[in-house]
Structure 1
Amino acid sequence: MRRPIITTGSKTDVRLSTEPVTRTGVELTGLALEKRLKVKRSAAYVEAMTKLDAMGAVCDHTKVQELIRSIQGEFAELKPHQFLIGLVSKCYLGAPYEVHTLDMRQEIVEHYKAGQPLPSGMEKARALAMHPSYAFIEVYSDAICAVAATGYAAFTRGSGYVQ
């Protein structure tokens, strides 16, 4: 039996609201999440993340907490399970150190020597972190974002080609 597309004599009165709708409860997924992760990062966020070596965050847990709050502020619309696992960037302390990480789960900054494996799936970002085009690499559970000093982000799923 066919059903009419347009019904007449509707029992409900539909009214459009002009009030703004806040979507803080909506979870970004798929292409919407990918699009959000490609958005240019703020200058304050990039500056905070690129000064990991200089600010003494290795020894000071309050500075690590400030960095984590900065990350959470930059991605306020993401759900906790969508936050990045950590950051990887080139270490400027000199030999024998190659990269350093900010591990969001353990809330620590640690420096790694060449060849020393990185924790929590962050190893996939090491080669990109050494590339001069990127200030730091954001590592997510199933993706990475390479962020330039200008704030522009290149995104890839897994450990493939960065777009």
Structure 2
Amino acid sequence: MESRRHLVPRESSRHGSSFEVPSQTVAARTTSAHVMKNREQRRSAELLEAIAQIDTITDPVTQAELAGWIQERYEERGGGTLIGLFGHCYLGHPYVDHRMDVAGNITQHFKMADAVPGPFAAARPLARSSAYLFIEIYDDGQVVPVRPDGSSAI
């Protein structure tokens, strides 16, 4: 089912009417308040650095160790079940973005014309913005953009 974004009028300000775009970062109603609060917490500088490095490491043993470390940090945080990350790809042309599974493996690189599957599709327009370092995708359908300072955009 295709989701459509609609402009929703806000209260008028002294400068005239303004509109807001509804969030794409809404979780399922079954997600607990505790889990949601944990998703809002700032990610550590170490985690951000590890995620940025995973795309450039060529040694499979080092990559697996780093991926395991990343997965442990997400499990310790208690933010729910992460199904993967989506972000800008630094390999260069023709690739523009990629998805990474919870084990830290880059599972697929995408060219501009490639279709992005399933729950990762909602993250693609966000990944193209320099406002976000990467986007987290959870099993409850929530898409959480993460800023370069580690704060979430939810």
Q: Give the TM-score taking structure 1 as reference length.
A: 0.65
Summarize deviations over 1:12-52 as a string: whole Å, max 9, x none. xxxxxxxxxxxxxxxxx422211110100000001111223
Q: How does 1:1-163 map to 2 (within 5 A)?
A: 29-56=31-58, 60=60, 63-78=63-78, 82-104=80-102, 108-109=105-106, 110-141=108-139, 142-155=141-154
CA RMSD of aligned residues (A): 2.4
Q: CA deviation at 1:104?
A: 2.4
List alignment gaps of at least 5 residues for structure 2: 1-30
Aligned residue pairs total 123
| 2-structure distance, mates of 1:120, 1:84 | 14
* 2:32 maps to amino acid: G
Relative to total residues, which structure has the larger helix share, 1 or 2?
Answer: 2
| 2-structure distance, mates of 1:87, 1:154 | 15
| 2-structure distance, mates of 1:64, 1:116 | 27
Larger RCO (CA within 8 A; separation ≥ 6): 2
Q: CA deviation at 1:139?
A: 0.8
List alignment gaps of at least 5 residues for structure 1: 1-28, 156-163
Sequence identity (%): 30
The answer to whether the Cα contact below 8 Å between 1:145 and 1:154 also exists between their aligned partners in 2 is: yes
Q: Give the TM-score taking structure 2 as reference length.
A: 0.69
Larger Rg: 1
* 2:67 maps to amino acid: L
Structure 1 runs, 4 residues or longer, greater than 4 Å off: none
